[in-house]
Structures are given as C-alpha cells and as structure tokens.
Amino acid sequence: MTKNTHRSLALVWLRNDLRIADNPALFHACKSGAVVLPVYILDEHAPHAPGAASRWWLHHSLKSLSEMLAEASAPLILRRGPSAETLQSLIAETGAEAVYWNRRYYPAHVEADKSLKADLVAKGVGVHSYNGNLLREPWDLQTKAGGHFKVFTPFWRALQKAGPARDTPAPTIQKFKRPKQLPDTDALADWRLQPTAPNWAKEIASVWSPGEHGAHKRLYDFLAGAVDHYTDGRDRPDQDFTSRLSPHLAFGEISPLTIWRETRQRVDAGIISPGGAEKFLSEIAWREFSCNLLFHHGDLPDAPLRKEFADFAWRDDTEGLRAWQHGLTGYPIVDAGMRQLWRTGWMHNRVRMIVASFLIKDLLVPWQAGQSWFWETLVDADLANNAASWQWVAGCGADASPFFRIFNPVTQGRKFDPDGNYVREFVTELAALPAKYVHAPWEAPERALQQAGVSLGKTYPMPILDHGEARRRALDRYAKAKAG
DNA sequence: TTTTGAGTTGTTCGA
DNA sequence: GTCGAACAACTCAAA
C-alpha cells in the first residue's frame, strides 16, 4: 500500500485495554494530531497466551471494540504473530511515525516493551506509553523505607491516601480521523477464538456481555443496588452481590479509574453507603496489589514466594486432580464451584477459596496445577491475580493465609450457602435433597437419599477422601516442610 | 537501629 | 452451646 503522506500516522497498540473510554494511549495518539490506527496483535505462542475461556471472551471483546471504533469511524487492524515482529512490520508497511500503548507490568512484558521501544526509537519511530490500567503503577507506591509493599493493609492505606495517579479519565474520542488507506487486517473469525464442535460456550454466552458497554452496564447495575450489601453479601455464592466486573477488568474494557470515580462520586453524593463502597474499592486495590507483586516477582506464577515451600512434598494425584477439575470430588460445595467455572467461565470468590483449599490442602496437589486449570477455564484469567491468589491460598504468597487455615468444605457450605441453593443450581443430582443434607449427602439417612433420587457412588460420588484425615495429613506435611 | 504493633476471608478442641 | 486457645511463629511497616 502507499504510505499516508499527508498526515503523520500513529499506531495504537491495544493489549489488555480493549476500550475507548479512559484509554490514555488512544486519546493521546488522537490528540497528537496524527491519523490513528488502532491495532490488536494475537500472539498465540507467547508464554501465558489466553486460555480457552479467555479466547472466547477475547473474540467478543474485539468484535465489540471494532464495532465501537467503527461508529467513531476508526478501523481496528487485527494481526497474528509474534508481537514485536508483527508490530514492526506493520510500522514498515504503513510508514507510521509513532506508536502509542498503555503499559504492562509483568516483568517479561516490561522487558519486551522496553526492548521494542529501544528498537523503534533507534529507527526514528516515536514511542509513547501511558498508565491506563492501574490506579497507581508499581513504582508509584512505596513503603517509607523505599521498598514495595508486601502486606495488603498498609498498601491499601497508602493507595487511599495517595488516590489515583490521574485526576480525570482520558476523554473519549467521538470521531477519529480515518486513514485514507488501510493496511490488511485478519478476519476475526479466522482466528477461531470461539469453540465450534462442541460449542461449550453457550451458557457462558448467556451470562456475560463482553465489551465496553457490558462492562459499564455491570458497574452501573452494581452501584445501583448490590454495593450496599457488598460487605457481607459478597460472601454468599447463592446470592448476587458481587460486581462480576473481573473479566471486564482483565481485558481492560473498563479502567480502574472509572470504577474508582463512579463509586466515589456516588458515595460523596450520598447515593450509596461508604461501607460497601470502600470494601468494593479495596477489592479493586487487591488487583493492584497483585500486579505490584508480579511486577517485583516475575516468577510469581511459577515459584512460591516463601522459600520454605520450595521443597514441599506435594502429591502427584492425577485422579484427584481430574475429579476436582470435573466437579466430582463428592464434596458438594467444591463440585458446585468447579461446575460453575466449567459452565459459566467464572466462579464466586468465596467458592474459589474453598476449591483452592481443597486442591492444595486436602489433595496436596501443587497450587500451580490449580492455577493452570483456572487459566484455561476462567473468562477473567489474569496473570497477576491468578498467581497471587493461588499463592495466597497455598500459604506461600505475600500476606498469605496461613497454611494451617484449611477450609472445611461442609462448614463453609453450610455457612455461606445455608439453603443449599448454590449447590442445587450446579450439582443438579442433589437438587431434591433437603438443605440439611445437601452439603454432606453421605450423612443423609437412606430414606432421604431415596426420596431425593440420590444414590451415592452412582448418581453422585462418595467423597474421594475424608476431610478430617486429609487435614491431619496436610498439617503433618507442612510441619515437615518447615523443619526443612 | 531497635522496638512495637499488626497482619482479607478458618477450624478444631477442650473447658 | 459458647468461648478462648492452639495451630506457628514470622515478617512487615512505621515510629
């Protein structure tokens, strides 16, 4: 193609920031006066490329983004291949004079972006990067001693005190200057991000609306009601008091600054109560905290932060892992969670802790195996959150739950799903069982089981292990690990 | 430098 | 049924 000679051309390299609103890279590229060309590059062979559920989401998010850009008369160029090389060749093709992006924080990404920037600058291409994805970047908040925070509460206090790095969101561009000639773009369908045979994403599609509009609707709906019940309600998987913004945040369809401001504005206006709102924002801060940890510990997804766990005697239990993955452990709350994940691409936070505790401490399977499964099946899979959270449950992370804190799946079920409705929704075999027995069907009298059409070991598994014994075994191994 | 207080989300046991 | 202690000390952050 011929180069855009009249006006300089700027590429905006979109990554985990698939939005138009409050997108500093996109805004500043437009503001520079250049003709702007947004581009997304799918690098399927990069480490930590999106898992299956994320690929489904990505498809719809890109579709939504390209429609929104089209409304503002901007294209979205899609390319597939190794990120840096693909971007470089697009620059060569188009004669772009500048590239804009929002920064990433995983050390491998930081390095990649840094070396790409050096290459481009050496060729005379301008590179402009921004903070679009965090309230405060990892180097922005420090302890008084100058280090990074390793405990959440002081981090959260520092973040509250400092506030977001930017006062106002980047303005949304309503009308783009369209390049006279466009470079080739892949067809989204050719990327085959969606499952076909079988199409396992039907239920996922029925509960989620990927894209910027869906993200804002989630936020507004949440702030219009559930947020006032968030402090306690967030622990109830049978109810709907969480924001469900996680996948939207993972793909950058909404910025944390937007969430922060919209929430705070409603508190200041007296529309919502400060209690639930602060608790909600503290969860947004956990996302930042995890991102900080990953920035400072590039091996967070691979190796335990606390070194006494390096030689922990994990079990190699293929069968146990399989039962866990498929929701066939015989512990209803665990199975419900794993099936919710499989069916909807998401799991309630309380249940994530329960299933993770079960895999790590009852089955003694390494936390990395759980991390991998979540990476593949979660629509909100995020490298930092996933790694930090699995390490947190395992007791080997920063500010982690102590290892001896081992969730009892029956106690947790009865406490947080008191009527058993969450279990019944996802473990349909137990749908007719009374609340009294639904979290521990093996305790039910034979008559009750018969009436509910449950035959343990046939229609629903017997527990694959005894929690009491498993707990003692875990504590014993932990004691040995510590003794070194 | 040393001291001090604090640290997301639990469970079990025995008095 | 309820309550405190044990689980395990350790690391972090600030004064």
The predicted pLDDT at position A7 comes to 78
The CA–C1' separation of A314 and B14, in angstroms, is 32
A338 and A445 inside one domain: yes
Asked if the bond preceding A301 is cis, omega within 30° of 0, the reply is no
Closest nucleotide to A155: CA versus each C1': C13
Q: Model pTM?
A: 0.97
A257 and A382 inside one domain: no
Cβ atoms A306, A300 nearer than 8 A = no
Q: Phi/psi zone of residue A236: left (φ > 0), alpha (ψ -120 to 50 degrees), beta?
A: beta
A120 and A235 inside one domain: no
Tell whether A292 is covered by a domain.
yes
The CA–C1' separation of A241 and B6, in angstroms, is 30
Q: How many CB atoms lie within 10 A of CB A442?
A: 15
Tell whether A144 is covered by a domain.
yes
Q: Please give the mean pLDDT across all residues of chain A.
A: 95
A142 and A263 inside one domain: yes
The CA–C1' separation of A320 and C13, in angstroms, is 41
Round to whole Å and give the CA distance between A417 and A348: 12
Cβ atoms A137, A165 nearer than 8 A = yes
Q: Which segments within A358-399 are labelled E, that is strand? A: none
Cβ atoms A56, A204 nearer than 8 A = yes
The CA–C1' separation of A16 and C2, in angstroms, is 51
- Of A271, A296, A321, which residue constitutes the final position of a domain? A296
DSSP helix/strand/coil, A363: coil
Write down the H helix ranges in A179-239. Answer: 202-207, 212-223, 230-233
- The upper half-sphere exposure of residue A1, i.e. CA atoms within 13 Å in the direction of its Cβ, equals 18
- pLDDT tens digits for chain A (484 residues)? 444 445 799 999 999 999 999 999 999 999 999 999 999 999 999 999 999 999 999 999 999 999 999 999 999 999 999 999 999 999 999 999 999 999 999 999 999 999 999 999 999 999 999 999 999 999 999 999 999 999 999 999 999 999 999 999 999 999 999 898 999 999 999 999 999 889 999 999 999 999 999 999 999 999 999 999 999 899 999 999 999 999 999 999 999 999 999 999 999 999 999 999 999 999 999 999 999 999 999 999 999 998 889 889 999 999 999 999 999 999 999 999 999 999 999 999 999 999 999 999 999 999 999 999 999 999 999 999 999 999 999 999 988 888 889 999 999 999 999 999 999 999 999 999 999 999 999 999 999 999 999 999 999 999 999 999 999 999 988 888 887 6
Closest nucleotide to A349: CA versus each C1': B9
Distance of CA A9 to the CA centre of its chain: 33
The predicted pLDDT at position A4 comes to 47
- Of A296, A320, A350, which residue constitutes the final position of a domain? A296
A139 and A261 inside one domain: yes
Closest nucleotide to A416: CA versus each C1': B9
Tell whether A156 is covered by a domain.
yes
Please tell me the total count of domains within chain A.
3
Within 7 A of a protein CB, which nucleotides of strand C? Answer: 7-8, 11-15
Range of the domain at A395: 307-483
Round to whole Å and give the CA distance between A149 and A446: 54
**Can you give the CATH number for the domain in which A36 is found?**
3.40.50.620
A364 and A395 inside one domain: yes
Tracing tokens 């058993």 back to the chain, one arrives at A420
Tell whether A178 is covered by a domain.
no
Using the Cα atoms of residue A66, residue A67, residue A72 and residue A75 in order, give the sign of their dihedral.
positive
Rg for chain A, CA atoms, rounded: 24
Q: Which residues contact A304 (CB under 8 A, 6 or more apart)?
A: A310, A312, A391, A394, A396, A397
A217 and A236 inside one domain: yes
Both tokens of A323, joined, read 């039962």
**Can you give the CATH number for the domain in which A161 is found?**
1.25.40.80
A152 touches strand B (CB under 7 A): yes
Within 7 A of a protein CB, which nucleotides of strand B? Answer: 6-13
Active site residues of A: 283, 286, 314, 349, 367, 390
A463 and A335 inside one domain: yes
Closest nucleotide to A147: CA versus each C1': C13
A147 and A94 inside one domain: no
A162 and A311 inside one domain: no
A314 and A345 inside one domain: yes
Tell whether A57 is covered by a domain.
yes
A20 and A145 inside one domain: no
Tell whether A121 is covered by a domain.
yes
